[in-house]
Chains A and B, each alone.
Chain A
Amino acid sequence: MGLSGLRGHAFRRAFSAYSYGRFYHHLEWSQASLQLDWRLGALNTAVLLTSSTVMAFAVEREDNRRPLLLLCALLGLIFLGIKGYEWNQEFLGKKFPTPQFEGSAGQRLFFFFYFTLTGLHAIHLSAGLLAVLFFARSQRSQDEVHLLGLYWHLVDLLWFFLYPLLYLIGSRP
């Protein structure tokens, strides 16, 4: 619980700054957001919430959690793979917020937040992924697996908010 609170702390500040940026650059942010692929974002949301379901089953199990933990890790890896593909596309499209960025200053600010928030999320997911693999290797107590589950669900929860806040600002009628 304490760890979850601590991690929430980093994201809370980022979300607060995000709301400020979006308030002052609303139009440019919706144009920038339309450049993201909402299908890949939705697919990744589905992958992550499925991994959370698998994790919930793994936590509940008394013994032989290994196959479920490995499946959970695999889904986490798929998420990172899709995210990496998206980042690569955005790098190639000169969307990384450097002086070479193609677009207005407001749009550049959006992509700054996009890379910061998705990057911060991916770092947390990678840490969780390593922990899941570590837990799959050896026998762990119920309490330890429960804590691992709480962390994994928290990373999933954050993505529930990141998806609409980053991918779905501008509408696509």
Chain B
Amino acid sequence: MTYWLIWAVLMALLGLTVLINHWALGVWGTVLALLVASTKALLVALFYMHLRHSSGLIRLASGAALLWVAVMFLLSWADFLSR
């Protein structure tokens, strides 16, 4: 069953997250951990939240939400770094 397969991949990625922390990569450890977290989020969104079989409009709306997050981070940081 697909859902169990996704579960196994998610568990493996959780293991990878913990491993990355033990490798002591400094800043890159955080970058990698966030990449792994994003992959997990993508898997849940595509399979468990059925984005894979959703209409283009719904996919566009979810993508727009991510873009919005990026804009908000950019605005906050433009403020902090230019003080």
Contact = CB atoms under 8 A, between A and B. Distances in A.
Main secondary structure of the interface of A (DSSP, over half): helix
Contact of A153 (B21, B23, B49): B49
Given A1-B61, A149-B49, A12 B3 contact: no
B65 A8 contact: yes
Q: Chain B interface residue count: which class?
A: 35 or more
Interface residues of A, number: 39
B72 A168 contact: no
Given A20-B80, A171-B21, A153 B61 contact: no
Interface stretch (A42-50, A82-90, A107-115, A117-125): A42-50
Contacts of B41: 157, 160-161
**A-B complex: 7 closest residue pairs judged by Cβ atoms:** A171-B24, A164-B33, A56-B48, A168-B21, A173-B24, A53-B7, A160-B37
Given A38-B21, A160-B44, 18 more contacts: A8-B69, A15-B73, A20-B76, A23-B80, A45-B17, A49-B10, A49-B40, A50-B7, A146-B50, A150-B49, A160-B40, A164-B21, A164-B33, A164-B34, A168-B33, A172-B21, A172-B22, A172-B24
Interface of A: 1, 5, 8, 12-13, 15-17, 19-20, 23, 38, 42, 45-46, 49-50, 52-53, 55-57, 60, 146, 149-150, 153, 156-157, 160-161, 163-165, 168-169, 171-173
